[in-house]
Amino acid sequence: MKTYSMIIGGKAVDAGKTFAVVNPASGEPFAHVQDAGPEQVDAAVAAARAAFPAWSALPDAERKARLHALGGALEANMSELMELVTRESGKPLQGLNNVGAGMELGGAIAWTHVTADIDLEPEVIQDNEQARVEVHRKPLGVVASITPWNWPLMIAIWHVIPALRAGNTVVLKPSEYTPVATSRFVELANDILPPGVLNVVTGGGAAGAALTGHPDVDKIVFTGSTRTGKRIMENAAATLKRLTLELGGNDAGIVLPDVDVKTVAPKLFGVAFHNNGQTCACLKRLYVHESQYDDMCAELARLAREVKVGDGLEPGTELGPVQNRAQLDIVRELAEDAREHGGKVLAGGKVREGKGYFFEPAIVAGLTNGARLVDEEQFGPILPVIKYTDVDEAVRLANDNPNGLGGSVWSSDPARAVDIGKRLECGSVWINEHGAVQPDAPFGGVKQSGIGVEFGKHGLAEFTTIQTVKIMKS
């Protein structure tokens, strides 16, 4: 069984103690990583700080070239990294609708190249006989990136590449559940980047807390739960660190009664269940008009019964296990609560006997807002389908939640769907789609789903600070 080192200042570093990383398909360890203490966190931040002046002073074209080389390294090592992602996260190599480790690597590569090519040109606010006023973007310094377990490598790329593109240096702390592919990526990246530009420390929440409270960190980019996001914000307050927080979602989808149920149901099933529902912007609450409710529930239940659940390394597997035991317990508890409060479980809804953290994909009818499965983010393979009678009621129910990451409207009349979509309180709205992010369009939450955006020019700007330059002419 392989033991992975941390990479600090371009060197492999061990902490003197390690912990096991479990494959959720078997419940058995498959690798070990270092368990960082405060000394390693300090060393990583110091290495990033030392590397910052030279990295931020590099000509733009050179930084871009190094980032494209990182994209090349991801591509050259794709099959190894895919297998590591599947072993640690449980997500299938291909998966439902091809949303699996292959897509995670494909996305990581695409995001790297697209972000490398984004420029933030200086803006000229005024240029007349009195003065010229320019707005410049400068890097912030040391960025701490804290990543979750659902899309471990792709989310690391989402954090690291724009931070580096803007001229910052980075200390990355992956989730203790899924640190392996990220550690391997940082090892590969250190053949391309100068020492200290990208460092990785592995460990539990304590290492994350030491990093996010570190006085020499300038910015934190975090993807994970709202609860931990709030803790990080408190921790960052002492030194007023900049924050990008991409937190939980409880995305609603509203289906208008003009759709064809048989055509739309497989699409809805895909956007709710890919990666076992463990995606921040999965569809997590589905509102269906009373005229189509029974047919839609029946169709979704059929799909849930037919989907192939198993070990992600087996060819043909569409859904793997839930990523960890604690998350499996949350999903099981929500299913039990739904049953106790009048929910009808139309398919699945049980933990599978035997090894691994498997849950039978579930469709639950008969609930509405106020039930835990509707109000709370399930982050697992169980979807509540909620009946509505008029569209105003559906919009009100969709907005009746503290989260506001994404939302969708499904209709054969896109113009009407857009009008309804604009009334949803969320950072992204998709029409006849859900969760379809892309590297050049901003993505982020409103309400308690986060602060700031990622991707594209808007996301890149969050890794910079503004300097206004005023040149007097008279």
Active centre residues (catalytic): 246
The yes or no reply on residue 154 touching ligand NDP (CB under 6 A) is no
| Stretch of 173-181, 189-197, 311-319, 393-401 lying at the interface with ligand NDP (CB under 6 A) | 173-181
Whole-number minimum distance, CB 305 to ligand NDP, in Å? 25
Site string for ligand NDP, 26-65 (x = CB under 6 A): ----------------------------------------
The yes or no reply on residue 212 touching ligand NDP (CB under 6 A) is yes
Task: From 295, 245, 233, select the one nearest 268 (Cα to Cα).
Answer: 295
Whole-number minimum distance, CB 139 to ligand NDP, in Å? 22
Q: Based on CB atoms, which residue is closest to ligand NDP, 232 or 286?
A: 232
Q: Based on CB atoms, which residue is closest to ligand NDP, 303 or 405?
A: 405
Interstrand relation of 406-410 and 428-431 (parallel, antiparallel or unpaired)? parallel
Q: Specify whether the CB–CB gap between 200 and 45 falls below 8 A.
A: no
Site string for ligand NDP, 119-138 (x = CB under 6 A): --------------------
The yes or no reply on residue 18 touching ligand NDP (CB under 6 A) is no
Q: Based on CB atoms, which residue is closest to ligand NDP, 89 or 408?
A: 89
Q: Based on CB atoms, which residue is closest to ligand NDP, 146 or 283?
A: 146
Amino acid at 283: L
- Distance of alpha carbon 293 from the chain centroid: 31
Q: Based on CB atoms, which residue is closest to ligand NDP, 167 or 406?
A: 406
Q: How far is 381 from 80, CA to CA, in rounded Å?
A: 27
Tokens 């409103």 -> residue: 446
Q: How far is 267 from 275, CA to CA, in rounded Å?
A: 14
Q: Specify whether the CB–CB gap between 255 and 187 falls below 8 A.
A: no
Using CB under 6 A as the binding criterion, the count of chain residues that bind ligand NDP stands at 27
The yes or no reply on residue 231 touching ligand NDP (CB under 6 A) is yes
Candidate residues 102, 148, 349, 435; the one interacting with ligand NDP per rule CB under 6 A: 148
Tokens 């702390």 -> residue: 173
Q: How far is 171 from 157, CA to CA, in rounded Å?
A: 13
Q: Based on CB atoms, which residue is closest to ligand NDP, 275 or 292?
A: 275
Candidate residues 84, 146, 186, 303; the one interacting with ligand NDP per rule CB under 6 A: 146
The yes or no reply on residue 228 touching ligand NDP (CB under 6 A) is yes
The yes or no reply on residue 379 touching ligand NDP (CB under 6 A) is yes
The yes or no reply on residue 175 touching ligand NDP (CB under 6 A) is yes
What are the strands, taking DSSP E only, across 256-413? 285-289, 344-347, 362-365, 382-388, 403-404, 406-410
- Distance of alpha carbon 141 from the chain centroid: 23
Q: How far is 232 from 186, CA to CA, in rounded Å?
A: 24
| Stretch of 17-25, 127-135, 245-253, 466-474 lying at the interface with ligand NDP (CB under 6 A) | 245-253
Long-range contacts of 157-160 (CB under 8 A, 24+ apart): 157/74, 157/107, 157/108, 157/111, 157/112, 157/185, 158/111, 158/223, 158/454, 158/455, 159/221, 159/223, 160/198
Whole-number minimum distance, CB 450 to ligand NDP, in Å? 8
Whole-number minimum distance, CB 210 to ligand NDP, in Å? 8
Whole-number minimum distance, CB 163 to ligand NDP, in Å? 16
| Stretch of 4-12, 82-90, 190-198, 204-212 lying at the interface with ligand NDP (CB under 6 A) | 204-212
Q: How far is CA 225 from CA 146, 230, 249, 459, in A?
A: 11, 9, 9, 20
Q: How far is CA 49 from CA 37, 53, 217, 239, in A?
A: 19, 8, 9, 16
User: Which residues, 315 to 334, sit near ligand NDP by CB under 6 A?
Assistant: 327, 330
Q: How far is 149 from 166, CA to CA, in rounded Å?
A: 26
Whole-number minimum distance, CB 214 to ligand NDP, in Å? 11
Count, residues in the chain: 474
Q: How far is 406 from 221, CA to CA, in rounded Å?
A: 19
Q: How far is 74 from 467, CA to CA, in rounded Å?
A: 34
The yes or no reply on residue 453 touching ligand NDP (CB under 6 A) is no
User: Which residues, 254 to 293, sit near ligand NDP by CB under 6 A?
Assistant: 280
The yes or no reply on residue 373 touching ligand NDP (CB under 6 A) is no
Q: How far is 323 from 22, CA to CA, in rounded Å?
A: 9
Tokens 């530009």 -> residue: 197
| Stretch of 76-84, 92-100, 207-215, 294-302 lying at the interface with ligand NDP (CB under 6 A) | 207-215
Q: Based on CB atoms, which residue is closest to ligand NDP, 202 or 292?
A: 202
| Stretch of 80-88, 218-226, 291-299, 345-353 lying at the interface with ligand NDP (CB under 6 A) | 218-226
Candidate residues 218, 360, 377, 454; the one interacting with ligand NDP per rule CB under 6 A: 377
The yes or no reply on residue 150 touching ligand NDP (CB under 6 A) is yes
Reading across the β-sheet that carries 28-34, which strands appear in turn? 2-4, 28-34, 18-23
What residue ranges bind ligand NDP (CB under 6 A)? 146-150, 175-177, 204-205, 208-209, 212, 223-225, 228, 231-232, 246-248, 280, 327, 330, 377, 379
